[in-house]
Chain A
Amino acid sequence: MENILELRNINKIYGTEIKNQVLYDVNLKINEGSFNSIIGQSGSGKSTLLNIIGTLDKPTSGDVIISGKNVKDMKLDQLAEYRNSMIGFVFQFHYLLPEFTAMENVLIPYRIGNNKVSNEIRRRADDLMNLVGLEKVKNNLATKMSGGQQQRVAIARALINQPKMILADEPTGNLDSDSTEVIYELLRKINQELKTTFIIITHDRRIAEKADRIIEIKDGKINLDINK
């Protein structure tokens, strides 16, 4: 299988006067269509790693290569376009826009790149809403939904542009175990049906064990890399 992502000697140092190195020479290759989990203790650097993969943060040194392109060579606007079309984000704090309905939130990544929403895209959004089981509440304001529902909206939103890669940072961190189970089943289903690559940070070992590959980060280094 081809690599969708390659990290080469990634170092990340925060601060200029008091330096705090978070990542040490991280090298990592991710296969296209794979379902990966990243585990590690708080402060181990896993979120920083995910943000670097998502081009939200820049490594102090090293290269991030996504689909053969080095992120370093891209301008800000190109990076924005790239994030919009290639990557879907699901954050722990779901980050829906409270001013919009669930459906509108799902359509936002598409609207960022396009002025008009075609019927085809509307159908796709409807399908995604069905997929995440929210067809009945899709016109509710984001703030009028439960935490689990909001997280499912965020997942549908991450999928609307049919990105190659979904990055999720503890997507179930704020949810009860039942909801957690539902969300993971959903992510797995999407991975299998749409062949979307998943990189998921989780605290939950039970969940991590369901992934194709478990990467453990410890003190800014890859400590364990298990392929099933």
Chain B
Amino acid sequence: MKFSLQMALRFLRSSKGQTLMIIIGIAIGVSVQIFIGSLIQGLQKSLVDTTIGNASQITITNDRDDKLIDDHKMLMDKIKTTDDDIINITAVYDSATFLAIDNESQSLLLRGFDIDTADKIYDIYDRIYLGKAPIKDNEIILGKQLQEKYDLSLNDRIDILTVDRVDQVFTVVGFFDFKVTSLNTNWGITTLTTSQTVFDSDGITAIEMQVDEGSVFEADAIAAKIAEQLYDYDLKIDNWKDANQQLLSGLQGQSVSSYMIQVFVMISVILGIASVLAITVLQKSRQVGILKAMGIKNKVAGQIFLFEGFILGFLGAVLGILFGLGLAYSFTIFAVNPDNTPVVNLYIDWRFIFISGIIAMIASTLAAAFPAIRSSRLNPIDIIRNN
């Protein structure tokens, strides 16, 4: 083994209590970093997921008076080839209607979906808690709040009035719960064909799509690419980022504050190590002095303390990762909602954890640089002369 490494190990072992304290100090720093990082990432992920996980991330509409998009099949094929990250794409026929029950009427957004492709975005099948998805013409599913409000049951027949006062009778075949009241009270989902038949059109009103999970934050760039591809068709292309500026700046603020916390934790760890190692150099100056008298080179004398820093950093990082994961795990166990689901789902990102560990090791080694310089500058004669 390298002489300086062996020296470092012996020096660390000879003052076990002190070594343990520094390791625990680093470990706490690393664990806080990992915990905060995982917490913020989990928070952001679940926030993004709730906001756009079950929604269209890029939506194409037409500003024309009739709002209709023609030849959508050709357009959708074109869009699919634009970017590999576009995954779920579906055609929709939306129209504002009125739901008329018991002499009461309320507005209803009648959404004509191609149910199978729309399910990939909206999870329709999973959201239906009673009944089934609409398949045949004039079948409809309604939200939980509507069911409760009008005391509806399966196979009830309801009247839907279009803006042109055309009355259509629909059969309720199921009820959904999107966990969002506004959707549960305002949406009525039917098949695309039904919508098209009701409005006597073979067009659609929107093309909706999602992008791959890893590219969620590139939705604006992907939307721009689509816009370029569909330049000739004069369509309006929206993406979730433009529509959710506030959420985005919130997420950004969160990220920045999380980085701030992590940076300050690291700085305090570095200062801690540097000061303890500086004391160690003083404690070991007699040994360093005698080693120098025996012919150890200044560089090697410095290396001893760099190795100490590295070893402390390594052990601290390993222990810190274990602490951090333990902390994260206990957080998901103890900080729970009334239904026993965790308040925040932590996001364990191994790459982030690995990098945190590496940073701690590099930081500890760097923190040892000052003591190392001190050690390499130590003059043996001062030790020998002063005993």
A and B interact: yes
Interface residues, chain A, with chain B CB atoms under 8 Å away: 47, 51, 54, 56-57, 76-77, 80-85, 89, 91-93, 95, 97-100, 108-109, 111-113, 115, 157
Kindly report which residue of chain B lies nearest to residue A78, judged by CB atoms: B297
Which residues of chain B from 347 to 387 have any CB-CB distance to chain A below 8 Å in the complex? 380-381, 384-385, 387
Kindly report which residue of chain B lies nearest to residue A114, judged by CB atoms: B3
Kindly report which residue of chain A lies nearest to residue B383, judged by CB atoms: A95
Kindly report which residue of chain B lies nearest to residue A111, judged by CB atoms: B3
Q: Is the CB of B293 within 8 A of A112?
A: no
Q: Could you give 6 example pairs across A and B, Cβ below 8 Å?
A: A76-B298, A83-B293, A89-B293, A89-B294, A93-B387, A98-B287
Task: Give the residues in chain A near B13, CB-CB below 8 Å.
Answer: 99
Known A80-B297, A111-B3; judge A97-B380 contact (CB<8 A). no
Known A93-B387, A95-B286; judge A100-B10 contact (CB<8 A). yes
A111 to B297: give the CA distance in the assembly, Å.
12
Known A95-B286, A98-B14, A99-B287; judge A112-B295 contact (CB<8 A). yes
Q: Is the CB of A51 within 8 A of B385?
A: yes
A99 contact from B14, B292, B300, Cβ within 8 A:
B14
Task: Give the residues in chain B near A99, CB-CB below 8 Å.
Answer: 10-11, 13-14, 287
Task: Give the residues in chain B near A57, CB-CB below 8 Å.
Answer: 381
Q: Knowing that A47-B385, A82-B295, A95-B293 are A-B contacts, what are 5 other residue pairs whose CB atoms are under 8 Å apart, sorted by A's residue number?
A: A56-B380, A57-B381, A80-B297, A111-B6, A112-B3
Q: Is the CB of A56 within 8 A of B293?
A: yes
Give 5 closest A-B pairs by Cβ, nearest first.
Answer: A84-B295, A99-B14, A95-B290, A99-B10, A83-B295
Q: Is the CB of B385 within 8 A of A109?
A: no
Q: Determine whether B248 belongs to the interface, using a CB cutoff of 8 Å to chain A.
A: no
Q: Is the CB of A108 within 8 A of B294?
A: yes
Task: Give the residues in chain B near A76, CB-CB below 8 Å.
Answer: 297-298
Distance (Å) between the CB of A101 and the closest chain B CB?
11
Count class of interface residues, chain B: 20 to 34
Q: Determine whether B64 belongs to the interface, using a CB cutoff of 8 Å to chain A.
A: no
Which residues of chain B from 310 to 335 have any CB-CB distance to chain A below 8 Å in the complex? none
Q: Is the CB of A109 within 8 A of B381?
A: no
Task: Give the residues in chain A near B294, CB-CB below 8 Å.
Answer: 83-84, 89, 108-109, 112, 157
Q: Is the CB of B298 within 8 A of A112?
A: no
Q: Is the CB of B3 within 8 A of A97?
A: no
Kindly report which residue of chain B lies nearest to residue A109, judged by CB atoms: B294
A80 contact from B3, B290, B292, B387, Cβ within 8 A:
B292
Task: Give the residues in chain B near A83, CB-CB below 8 Å.
Answer: 293-295
Distance (Å) between the CB of A220 and the closest chain B CB?
16
Task: Give the residues in chain A near B292, CB-CB below 8 Å.
Answer: 80
A92 to B290: give the CA distance in the assembly, Å.
12
Kindly report which residue of chain A lies nearest to residue B292, judged by CB atoms: A80
Task: Give the residues in chain B near A92, CB-CB below 8 Å.
Answer: 387
Q: Determine whether B165 belongs to the interface, using a CB cutoff of 8 Å to chain A.
A: no
Q: Determine whether B296 belongs to the interface, using a CB cutoff of 8 Å to chain A.
A: yes
Task: Give the residues in chain A near B1, CB-CB below 8 Å.
Answer: 115
Q: Is the CB of B290 within 8 A of A97?
A: yes
Q: Is the CB of A109 within 8 A of B3?
A: no
Most buried by A among B11, B293, B381: B293
Most buried by A among B1, B296, B299: B296
Distance (Å) between the CB of A190 and the closest chain B CB?
18
Task: Give the residues in chain B near A91, CB-CB below 8 Å.
Answer: 290, 384
Q: Is the CB of A112 within 8 A of B291?
A: yes
Q: Determine whether B2 belongs to the interface, using a CB cutoff of 8 Å to chain A.
A: yes
Q: Is the CB of B295 within 8 A of A113?
A: yes
Kindly report which residue of chain B lies nearest to residue A141, judged by CB atoms: B14
A85 contact from B286, B287, B293, B295, Cβ within 8 A:
B295
Q: Is the CB of A51 within 8 A of B381?
A: yes
A87 to B287: give the CA distance in the assembly, Å.
18
A98 to B292: give the CA distance in the assembly, Å.
16
Task: Give the residues in chain B near A112, CB-CB below 8 Å.
Answer: 3, 291, 294-296, 300
Which residues of chain B from 1 to 34 have any CB-CB distance to chain A below 8 Å in the complex? 1-3, 6, 10-11, 13-14
A83 to B297: give the CA distance in the assembly, Å.
10
User: What per-residue 1/0 map shows which CB atoms of B206-239 lie under 8 Å from chain A?
Assistant: 0000000000000000000000000000000000
A80 to B293: give the CA distance in the assembly, Å.
8
Task: Give the residues in chain A near B300, CB-CB below 8 Å.
Answer: 112
Q: Is the CB of A77 within 8 A of B14?
A: no
A114 to B228: give the CA distance in the assembly, Å.
68
Q: Is the CB of B3 within 8 A of A115?
A: yes
A84 to B300: give the CA distance in the assembly, Å.
14
Task: Give the residues in chain B near A47, CB-CB below 8 Å.
Answer: 385
Most buried by B among A84, A92, A97, A100: A97
A77 to B13: give the CA distance in the assembly, Å.
29
Kindly report which residue of chain A lies nearest to residue B300, judged by CB atoms: A112
Task: Give the residues in chain A near B3, CB-CB below 8 Å.
Answer: 111-112, 115
Distance (Å) between the CB of A178 and the closest chain B CB?
24
Distance (Å) between the CB of A147 and the closest chain B CB?
15
